[in-house]
Amino acid sequence: MKTLLIIPAYNEEESLKNTVDSVLRCVSQIDLLVVNDGSRDGTVRVCRENNYPFLDLSTNLGLAGAFQAGMKYAYRHGYDCAIQFDADGQHLPEYIEPLVEATKTCDIAIGSRYIDKRKPISLRMLGSRLIQAAIKLTTGKRLTDPTSGMRAFNARMIEQMALGLNFGPEPDTVSYLIKRADAKVVEVPVEMAERAAGESYLNPWSSAVYMLRMAISILFIQFFRKRIGGEKK
């Protein structure tokens, strides 16, 4: 299976090399692509010095825009599977192969931290539960870790996300694909590490806003998205 690991990177100079090198040590027969999302630090320099394949976005598009750029690349180059993978060291490479294997029988595989354990009590987890409830209400699908950023997509989903307008790797897009594109989603148990270094896309305030925005989008906006390409066979 021709697989592309997409690594969006915003100001990840300090953690990127360790992340990529850990992937290369752990996983064989996989391509990777760093998407530099308008970083202000030395992220591009790290890519050049280590000969990492990368896209260089001139402005910061955010996670959704950066990942969609990677999905367009995957679509143009005929990949069978694309994986979203954080540059900050939180995602562990030993779970890449189980996610790829899962996409042989589903459309989207999500790495879940909470299949067999309870979520901790925090504002962020309350937001995650709100999104979980919104997805269950609108699609009938229960996801234990809807905000997990470790996801794998098969070729049909690559097409949907490459050609769709603002189809980022977000819970509302997953909800849309379940409801409107009949996507089959499974969760794969994973563990995640703490951020090693660099700059997160979300701070506590923006994280709270993000959770609320996702819930509103899932409940009220996704119905109006136009379905494109990638009909299920």
- pLDDT tens digit sequence for 181-230: 999 999 999 999 976 555 555 556 677 788 888 999 999 876 666 554 44
Q: What is the DSSP string of 49-94?
A: HTT--EEEESS--HHHHHHHHHHHHHHHTT-SEEEE--TTS-B-GG
Alpha carbon distance 86, 6 (integer Å): 8
Instruction: State pTM to two decimals.
Output: 0.88
- pLDDT of 2 > 90? The answer is yes
77-132 tens-digit pLDDT: 999 999 999 999 999 999 999 999 999 999 999 999 999 877 666 666 788 899 99
Q: Cα(127)–Cα(133) distance, rounded to whole angstroms?
A: 10
* Bridge partner residues of 54 (DSSP): 34
Residue 68: which of 203, 206, 207, 170 has the closest Cα?
Answer: 170
Residues sharing a CB contact under 8 Å with residue 133, sequence separation 6 or more, in sequence order: none
Structure tokens given for 59: 């402005």
Is 3-224 assigned to CATH 3.90.78.10? no
Mean pLDDT of the chain: 90
Domain ranges of the chain: 3-224
Cβ atoms < 10 Å from Cβ of 90 = 17
